[in-house]
Structure 1
Amino acid sequence: MVRIPGSRRTPVALGLAALLLSGCASFSKDGGLDAVSALTQARTGQAVPLSGAEAGPDLAALLGEPLSADGAVRVALMNNRGLKAALAELGASEADLVQAGRMRNPGLSFSRSHGNGETEIGRGVTFDLIGLLTLPTRSGIERGRFEQAKLAAAAQAVQLAADTRRAYFHAVAARQAVVYMEQAAGAAQAGAELAARMQRAGNWSRLDQARQQVFYADAMTQLARATHGATAARERLTRLLGLWGGQTAFTLPERLPDLPKAADAIANIEALAMERRLDVQMSKHETAASARALGLTRATGVVNVLDAGYANKSVTGKARENGYAIALELPLFDWGGARTAKAQALYMQAVHRTADTAVRARSEVREAYSAYRSSYDVARHHRDEVVPLRKKISDEVLLRYNGMLASVFELLSDAREQIGSVNTAIDTQRDFWIAHTDLESAINGNGGASAKEQQ
């Protein structure tokens, strides 16, 4: 380290300026949550509740009636603990921003030496001059990272909303399937009991009675599987909603929402995704932050330690001496080339990652829109064509059976096909609403599927 003596006015003014600039850095009132809530509401229609807001009354009101898809999203955003933990990360990012806007604490030095009957006392205070000169740049870098943290928090909220909608439609469809399977199992049981009585009376053969009994056994097996599927789907939804205890007794509607009259035709869907997708915006912020960090590294590549301050020395029997001291790091062994190369590599990594994110986003939104349109066409086809035809066939088979023109085997075979047809119709309707959710996520969030589905 090299110390150079000099006058005293410049270091004093420098110290005052450093104190003034450091005092400007402070925490915001909302901790960035207002921006996260606005971003989430613009993409899901639901805002993220403010930190510390009381969710009890609103939560009880929502759970007091059958949940809609929007109601489930609202419950998840206000009650999911995983999201609350993610939002807490905003505080750490804002702390980094505030810290970047503050100067390093000044250094104090004191020395005392004695010899030849004299005592020499040295006093000094130093400030980080490089830190002062680079404070605006460092603050800008952290401000960009704070904006990126807001986008990341909003992305998690949007992802939670999409996952909740998917789980909601799965749970409602599973419940609807259970209700139908209970009816089918009841009818199969009644048929099995009737077949047993008719066989004992000699009106049915053992083969026909056995076929009816097998049909009943198959119906009970399907009912058991459907019941467990409904329980599992409901529990997945419960976890996303963050509910426990008595809250888990919430009710779901009896059936899925009806299909819309027509599928949405979205123009310029790729451009819309580039504008609204949060992962694309995060990648852009990361690239900008890396560019600023690269500029800072190049600016301080040779000299990144420079302290300046006030110095005072007194010697026994002599007048007190005042001046200033400057301490800098001599670039003898490290000229900053490695730091610059690393910053350059990180910047190029961010550039390529941004380009990759944009390519994937464009592909995902095209795929999601194709799935949306095809699932709508399939669901409408089952609703308008397959189910009515299946019912017409069943009515005709029953008439033929009553007229002794069809065997019991034909009747049972038709019943099995009818069960499969209704279950398929429920599945196609569920798949449409999930595809609709995936499309919204592909346009507004991080993609058309949850993180677990992508792995």
Structure 2
Amino acid sequence: MPPRIIILAVTTVLAGCTTFDPGRDHVAIEKLLADRGAPSLGWEQNDQGEQETQAQQSVAAQPMTADLAVKTAMLRSPRLQQIYGELGLARADVLDAVQVANPRISLSSLALAGGPGSQFVFGVAEPLVDLLTLPAKARLARLDYERARYEVAASILGVSLDVEAAWYRYVGAQQVAEMRAAVADGLQVSADLAQRFYDAGNITELQLNREKAAASQARIEATRAAVAGKMARLELNNAIGLRGAEADWKSDTVLPLPLAHEDDVSELQRLAQSSSLELLAAQKGAVVAAGAARITRSFRLLGATTVGYDRERDVDRSVIRGPTLDIELPIFNQGGARVARTEARLRIARARLAQLALASGNAVGLGAERVRVLSEVVGLYRTALVPQREIVTRQSQLEQNFALIGEFEVLQAKAQEYEAYQGFLEAVRDYWLARVDLMRLVGNRLPSDAEARQNTPTVSEILTPPAAPAMDHSMHGGHHGGGAPPPAGPAPSGSPAPPPAMPGMVHDHVPTPDASPPPSPPPAPTPEHQHHGAGQ
């Protein structure tokens, strides 16, 4: 076989070593996502739109839960399509980096001036470095493509966690907005009551404006909370990929309570070492950088050396043929810049790997500690602050029933109780957002996700607890704190019963106020006694 045919055949075969099958990308990425608890990437197989239609029907037919939001995003999110498209760019970059240079063919026809015949020369040449390094480059190219797959899968997993976090922010913002509206309504009632008392001459202008200012401040905060809820809904729709009529979904869900048991930190750190896609991608990147530096150092002196084959037909029709070697003498440029560049990339890759490995340990530990602390904060709300505020409200109602305090104090206690509920809901929201951040660091669903969950009380349950027995307000002719005296009537038939406690809260460690009437204040001295006391 002629040598030129051998050179062309070898070049073609070696070039085939660098091809990739794009059809395997979807399978490989789906497996990476499934191993980490992420839903299936649906849009890539959604050419006919059947799955998208089913997703639209699901969104319209049922409340928007966290799972439904993530599954819908896997079909609709334009960001996912952009990320998946970046894998095609990575494939092209890898192929371009290891592609063998095309063989160069030279043709020449020379003739003597005025002489018979001509000299015809045909040659084919190929860069020697490409031929020698192609097998190693092909191996590194496959490793680099695996790195690109890890990065794409990590980005897709990040999108699913972004959607989940956006859902928690939306639900939390909705519940907080409802609580702020309830506080504003309660303080507005207090302001209206203060206006009536002021008109009747029972309170001063200072007391009136204090109540009005509190109501105005509460209304401002309620308006801000309502806007924050709308913005959170818009952010969730953007993360999912919904707009127009399809974005008008319903949601009657509430935030779940924190889990009873959190994951062990050492277990999470071990899981991060094996599951973090960013860490796996960095490991592949360091291997590729080391291989590239090794190849560059080994062949840096060859430069643009080419190997080829020439065939020459002389004037007398005789043929001369044989291999050729075109050597670049490494006198001035010995490839030092190429070596320095690849070694710098190797140092960067190793430093990034070390940084991610450090983060997978320390950051996971810090994230787990944050989740634990926020769980304790929620527990303090449930077992201490909220039950205590409930008791203050009930005790204030009892004292107001016996005319020991006025209506303003009761309304203020109720507003403080609602604010405690708002803080509780915000703490629950922050807890779940911290868990999502921890999942990002671990690169996987947390083992405790399988634990059964309980929901927080709905805002309607907070605002309308079960009704307490009716209270007889008779025979309490006095008033306190600016409250209007109740009308006279028959004697009370029994002691008042406090309102029931809110579901979802723990009252084991908080004493319940006694329903019996509080002690009456000492009777005011009569004018006769006052005169007698003054005379003494």
Q: TM-score, normalised by structure 2?
A: 0.76
Matching residue's letter, 1:70: D
Deviation at 1:429, TM superposition (A): 0.9
Aligned equivalent of 1:35, options 28, 38, 52:
28
Tell whether the 8 Å contact from 2:187 to 2:411 is kept in structure 1 after alignment.
Answer: no
SS of structure 2 residue aligned to 1:259? coil
Equivalent residues in 2 for 1:240-389 (5 A)?
A: 240-389=239-388
What CA distance in whole angstroms lies between the structure 1 residues aligned with 2:307 and 2:204? 107
Equivalent residues in 2 for 1:25-424 (5 A)?
A: 25-30=18-23, 32-49=25-42, 51-53=44-46, 54=49, 55-64=51-60, 65-99=62-96, 102-116=99-113, 117-118=115-116, 119-201=118-200, 209-424=208-423
Tell whether the 8 Å contact from 2:186 to 2:411 is kept in structure 1 after alignment.
Answer: no
Assess, with a 3 A threshold, how the Cα gap between structure 1 residues 272 and 141 changes in structure 2: closer, same or farther: same
SS of structure 2 residue aligned to 1:175? helix
Matching residue's letter, 2:105: L
Please name the residue that 1:13 is paired with. Answer: 6
Matching residue's letter, 2:41: V
Deviation at 1:391, TM superposition (A): 1.0
What CA distance in whole angstroms lies between the structure 1 residues aligned with 2:397 and 2:387? 15
What CA distance in whole angstroms lies between the structure 2 residues aligned with 1:181 and 1:254? 18
Matching residue's letter, 1:94: R
Which structure would you say has the larger Rg? 2
Post-superposition CA distance 1:220-240 (Å, at most 9, x none): 222111111111222222221
SS of structure 2 residue aligned to 1:298? helix
What CA distance in whole angstroms lies between the structure 2 residues aligned with 1:318 and 1:10? 21
Tell whether the 8 Å contact from 2:187 to 2:415 is kept in structure 1 after alignment.
Answer: no
After TM superposition, the structure 1 stretch with the greater mean CA deviation from structure 2, 104-113 or 249-258, is 249-258
Tell whether the 8 Å contact from 1:208 to 1:408 is kept in structure 2 after alignment.
Answer: no
Deviation at 1:441, TM superposition (A): 1.4
Q: Which has the higher contact order (CA 8 A, sep 6+)?
A: 1
After TM superposition, the structure 1 stretch with the greater mean CA deviation from structure 2, 436-445 or 51-60, is 51-60
Deviation at 1:149, TM superposition (A): 1.0
Matching residue's letter, 1:87: Y
What CA distance in whole angstroms lies between the structure 1 residues aligned with 2:269 and 2:218? 47
After TM superposition, the structure 1 stretch with the greater mean CA deviation from structure 2, 323-332 or 84-93, is 323-332
SS of structure 2 residue aligned to 1:282? helix
What CA distance in whole angstroms lies between the structure 1 residues aligned with 2:105 and 2:3? 17
Tell whether the 8 Å contact from 2:63 to 2:251 is kept in structure 1 after alignment.
Answer: yes
What CA distance in whole angstroms lies between the structure 2 residues aligned with 1:437 and 1:25? 39
Tell whether the 8 Å contact from 2:293 to 2:342 is kept in structure 1 after alignment.
Answer: yes
Please name the residue that 1:437 is paired with. Answer: 436
Please name the residue that 1:449 is paired with. Answer: none
Post-superposition CA distance 1:417-450 (Å, at most 9, x none): 21321110111111111111122111117xxxxx
What CA distance in whole angstroms lies between the structure 2 residues aligned with 1:96 and 1:190? 67
Post-superposition CA distance 1:218-277 (Å, at most 9, x none): 332221111111112222222212222222212233421233333333543322222211
RMSD value over aligned CA atoms?
2.4
What CA distance in whole angstroms lies between the structure 2 residues aligned with 1:45 and 1:245? 27
SS of structure 2 residue aligned to 1:91? helix
What CA distance in whole angstroms lies between the structure 2 residues aligned with 1:413 and 1:177? 19
Post-superposition CA distance 1:123-145 (Å, at most 9, x none): 12223333122111111222122
Deviation at 1:46, TM superposition (A): 1.4
Tell whether the 8 Å contact from 2:367 to 2:438 is kept in structure 1 after alignment.
Answer: yes
What CA distance in whole angstroms lies between the structure 2 residues aligned with 1:220 and 1:102? 67
Deviation at 1:36, TM superposition (A): 2.3
Over the matched positions of the two proteins, sequence identity in percent amounts to 25
Deviation at 1:327, TM superposition (A): 2.1
After TM superposition, the structure 1 stretch with the greater mean CA deviation from structure 2, 45-54 or 234-243, is 45-54
What CA distance in whole angstroms lies between the structure 2 residues aligned with 1:113 and 1:444? 68
Assess, with a 3 A threshold, how the Cα gap between structure 1 residues 341 and 194 changes in structure 2: closer, same or farther: closer
Tell whether the 8 Å contact from 1:263 to 1:376 is kept in structure 2 after alignment.
Answer: no
After TM superposition, the structure 1 stretch with the greater mean CA deviation from structure 2, 212-221 or 69-78, is 212-221
What CA distance in whole angstroms lies between the structure 2 residues aligned with 1:232 and 1:41? 31
Tell whether the 8 Å contact from 2:255 to 2:429 is kept in structure 1 after alignment.
Answer: yes
Assess, with a 3 A threshold, how the Cα gap between structure 1 residues 185 and 120 changes in structure 2: closer, same or farther: same
Please name the residue that 1:450 is paired with. Answer: none
What CA distance in whole angstroms lies between the structure 1 residues aligned with 2:220 and 2:89? 53
Deviation at 1:332, TM superposition (A): 2.2
After TM superposition, the structure 1 stretch with the greater mean CA deviation from structure 2, 209-218 or 372-381, is 209-218
Post-superposition CA distance 1:37-79 (Å, at most 9, x none): 3222322431222525235224303422211112222223332
Please name the residue that 1:23 is paired with. Answer: 16
What CA distance in whole angstroms lies between the structure 2 residues aligned with 1:187 and 1:355? 56
Matching residue's letter, 1:57: T
What CA distance in whole angstroms lies between the structure 2 residues aligned with 1:13 and 1:210? 98
Give the aligned length: 438
Tell whether the 8 Å contact from 1:73 to 1:161 is kept in structure 2 after alignment.
Answer: yes
Matching residue's letter, 2:177: V
Tell whether the 8 Å contact from 2:17 to 2:138 is kept in structure 1 after alignment.
Answer: no
Tell whether the 8 Å contact from 1:80 to 1:242 is kept in structure 2 after alignment.
Answer: yes
Deviation at 1:339, TM superposition (A): 1.9
What CA distance in whole angstroms lies between the structure 1 residues aligned with 2:319 and 2:25? 52
Tell whether the 8 Å contact from 1:125 to 1:311 is kept in structure 2 after alignment.
Answer: yes
What CA distance in whole angstroms lies between the structure 2 residues aligned with 1:293 and 1:360? 26
Matching residue's letter, 1:169: Y
Query: Any unmatched runs of 5+ in structure 1?
Result: 1-7, 446-455
What CA distance in whole angstroms lies between the structure 2 residues aligned with 1:21 and 1:50? 36
Q: TM-score, normalised by structure 1?
A: 0.88
Please name the residue that 1:4 is paired with. Answer: none
After TM superposition, the structure 1 stretch with the greater mean CA deviation from structure 2, 177-186 or 392-401, is 177-186
Assess, with a 3 A threshold, how the Cα gap between structure 1 residues 285 and 27 changes in structure 2: closer, same or farther: closer
